[in-house]
Amino acid sequence: MSLPTPHLDKLKAALENEKLPANEKPRLQQAIQKYNQWIADISNIDNDSESLIPDLIQLFNDYKFYIDYDLIFCSPNDFLYRQKGQLKLDNTVIEEFLPHLTSKKFPSLNNTIVFGPRKCFSAMYFKSTLNDTKKGGGVEIRTKDQDFAIAKKLFIRTSHNDTFTEYETKDAYLGYVTSECKTNLDKTMFQEANATAHDVKTAIPGSKYFLLCEWLDMTPVSTAPTDIDEVLILRKAKRISSNIRKNYSTSAGRVANADSFKNYLESNPYDANVFTRFLNHIESMLNDEDPEEGSVLTDGYF
């Protein structure tokens, strides 16, 4: 199964960035070598291993620490740190890892299912009038970028005649599991994710929507009145406060605070139990089947 490479794509794009300082190029080339070894190590883990999830999370923690600390934070220049939001070297690691994690955990999923960042179906509408001559009602598909999805490709054909001699065709991905991945989750992001979750659930009522964040940057609120199935805090920790982060904007400031930042990362690794919870949610969907009449009448409910 071919899996997407959003993180590798960002590494390559950064390497070609005209504003990249010359002495950063060998460091990014080394990062690509580290990346290749990381993917190879993931592939070498036996899918049937009893320690599959802890082993995968350990590899993920090691590589993410390298990107966060060695590549970005310890850079002798300010470019990689100050341009994190645009370069997306750090926050695409999780987007690349989740497809490997889920595909190794659920290897029996067939080739009609795709994993990873996708533009997923959110609505269908018709741009037509009573007098126009569009072949299929002017069908249009609205999609939404999802950081991670377990989805199936869907092809839609519409026509004004039942023989379909003239028709319009559209395609999209149906996201049965979709997730937004955030480095820091604040209240505005939470509200935006809730709106996205509503669109997802309206399009596919049986789907699941999760909000995954590295660090919590808001007061927790209940997801019960929202369409978000669950918020998962992958490091089980809060974001470093702004009065400390302001010292990281310069190379000198990062050197002075390197030990404390390193200790904070090492003290708050990505937690295997949170990832296991996420996988359990997915597994419950795979085991969700239409009830049989006999068992329903025996149990008295469905």
Tens digits of residue pLDDT in 207-234: 999 999 999 999 999 999 999 999 999 9
pLDDT(295) > 90: no
Q: Average of pLDDT values for 126-150? A: 94
User: What pLDDT shows up at residue 297?
Assistant: 82
User: Which of 148, 145, 55, 133 is closest to 93 using CA atoms?
Assistant: 148
- Residues 243-278: tens digit of each pLDDT: 999 999 999 999 999 999 999 999 999 999 999 999
* pLDDT range class, residue 300, cuts 50, 70, 90: confident
Q: Where are the domains of the chain?
A: 1-108, 109-235+270-288
CA–CA gap between residue 279 and residue 102 (Å, rounded): 7
User: What pLDDT shows up at residue 1?
Assistant: 65
What pTM did the predictor assign?
Answer: 0.92
> How many CA within 13 A on the CB side of residue 152?
10
